[in-house]
Structure 1
Amino acid sequence: MLDKVASTKAIKRLFRRVPVTDLDTLSRTLDTKSRMSIFRRLKDLDYFSSYTHAGSFYTLAHIPQFDDYGLWVHQGIGFSKEGTLKATVLKIVETAPSGFTHTELNHMLRVKVHNTLLSLVREGCIRREHIEQAYLYISTEPGKAAEQTSQRRMQLAESDKGIDILPITTVIEVLIETIHAGKLRIAPILISQRLTARGCSVTTRQVEQVFGQYGIDTLKKTAELNSTRWQT
């Protein structure tokens, strides 16, 4: 096992080469098989465990560029400001303008959330309401919950009236691409361009519609747009 100073230098060198790593790589880097020693060294530098892949991947705290939902995804590996999947789902549901359905959360987080949602409901951390043949997961705070269900019912009512409501598949594509972008704020035109490049035709107006529906901040100023880099 390397001493504390050597371990710190070795970990920093490792994360300069790769933004995300696993326990086996850390074990070889620090020349130890002791999980306790590895996590003690990581804790000294401040780190995140992935909420996907059973928490088996790690990154240093300064590396992720979290989006508006507090999520960052690197090569299919998800990290959250909240740490665990359970804490992440709780935060997202509590702050969502119109709540979230099970399907929406599955696609956004890229993991199965059924058991997590059920656990949170049973523990009284979130509520669910049956709306249009699906459960809508909402806050336990009465005022916030009423606002969330009202917003969702308005969206469904607009859909029934034939107003331009996007297919759920389009909404999911926009949300996932926004997470991929890894920016705190991003211009709708960039999301539209990224999706079009992947063969998914979504207009800037449609992206703006999704951003408005889910309360996502956007970059609109030309200077901000020009300074935004694409992340692949």
Structure 2
Amino acid sequence: MKKRNVALDEHAIRAFAMRKVLTINELLNILICSIITVRRRLKEWRTYTSYNKNGRYYTLPSIPKFNKKGIWTYKDIFFSRYGTLKNTVIALATKSKKGLTHSELEEIIGMNPKCFMARFKEIPGLRKEKYKNQIVYFSADPDVYKVQKEKRFPPESSASKLPPDAMIIVILVELIQNPGISIEALSSRLHDQGYKIETNTISNLFKHYNISKKKRSMK
């Protein structure tokens, strides 16, 4: 059996530290070994694989600084603490307060879900529903699903309510800073900031002040 070259392993670790991410080909040149050995090292080092760029990039567990959603971006390369894109969608939708729409998912992961969700005919752990021409992903757990759906679609009695004046200012400031943002994504951003404001309330506000989608896109 060929003796393992520890010096080359250490060289690869240093390369990761310097470059942050590496490809299989780059590791082949560094480790001077077969692709099977490279993959064995990657598994041994418990590396993360990018969920975009066709999974070409790898990074060590100590390198990513994941945000609160579990995503780390290096240049235009995306990594998730949950591993694969499929597992990431499952985790994000399950942990969300009211499920996730395509636009909300896109804002979190940096990719249009329509480009890859069609590949997943079924996603264990998720429940997909269509509502007013948009897809919403909920947890498949009955108890979690019930809570998420109630928050996503509150009782009609609250549909006509407008937010307090202070909340209106917060919404408009967020809208100015993010022109063209969807109502769902705007609601999600505000929820992340600690504001409990539902999509239908924002929608009523826009209707009340005649803020159309076209006007929301204007800078």
- Give TM-score scaled by structure 1 length: 0.66
Q: What letter is aligned with 1:107?
A: E
Percent identity over the alignment is: 26
Number of the residue aligned with 2:44: 44
Number of the residue aligned with 2:139: 139
Specify whether residues 39 and 74 from structure 1 end up closer, same or farther in structure 2 by C-alpha distance, changes over 3 A only: same
- Distance in 1, Cα, partners of 2:117 & 2:20: 30
Number of the residue aligned with 2:152: 152
Specify whether residues 49 and 124 from structure 1 end up closer, same or farther in structure 2 by C-alpha distance, changes over 3 A only: closer
- TM alignment of 1:1-232, pairs within 5 A: 3-32=4-33, 34-114=34-114, 116-118=116-118, 122-154=122-154, 161-163=161-163, 164=168, 165=171, 169=181, 172=185, 209-212=191-194
Number of the residue aligned with 2:207: none
Aligned 8 A contact 2:101 2:137 in 1 = yes
Give CA-to-partner distance per residue, 1:15-47, whole Å, 9 cap, x none. Answer: 121111212211211123x22111112223221
For residue 173 of structure 1, report the CA deviation from its aligned partner.
8.5
Q: What letter is aligned with 2:37?
A: S
Report the count of equivalent residues. Answer: 182
Give CA-to-partner distance per residue, 1:128-178, whole Å, 9 cap, x none. Answer: 223343221101111111111111124998775332356571785998xxx
Larger Rg: 2
SS of equivalent to 1:162: coil
For residue 208 of structure 1, report the CA deviation from its aligned partner.
5.8
For residue 113 of structure 1, report the CA deviation from its aligned partner.
2.4
SS of equivalent to 1:63: coil
Q: What letter is aligned with 1:3?
A: R
**What is the CA RMSD across the aligned residues, in angstroms?**
3.3
Q: What letter is aligned with 1:19?
A: K
Aligned 8 A contact 1:2 1:30 in 2 = no
SS of equivalent to 1:64: coil
Aligned 8 A contact 1:90 1:120 in 2 = no
Specify whether residues 209 and 87 from structure 1 end up closer, same or farther in structure 2 by C-alpha distance, changes over 3 A only: closer
Structure 1 gaps of 5+ residues are 176-206, 215-232
- Distance in 2, Cα, partners of 1:53 & 1:2: 34
Structure 2 gaps of 5+ residues are 197-219
Bigger RCO (CA 8 Å, 6+ sep) = 1
For residue 67 of structure 1, report the CA deviation from its aligned partner.
2.0
Specify whether residues 35 and 113 from structure 1 end up closer, same or farther in structure 2 by C-alpha distance, changes over 3 A only: farther
Number of the residue aligned with 2:217: none
- Distance in 2, Cα, partners of 1:9 & 1:132: 55
Q: What letter is aligned with 1:97?
A: K
Q: What letter is aligned with 1:7?
A: L
Give CA-to-partner distance per residue, 1:91-115, whole Å, 9 cap, x none. Answer: 1111111110012212321223236
Specify whether residues 142 and 155 from structure 1 end up closer, same or farther in structure 2 by C-alpha distance, changes over 3 A only: same
- Give TM-score scaled by structure 2 length: 0.69
For residue 210 of structure 1, report the CA deviation from its aligned partner.
3.5
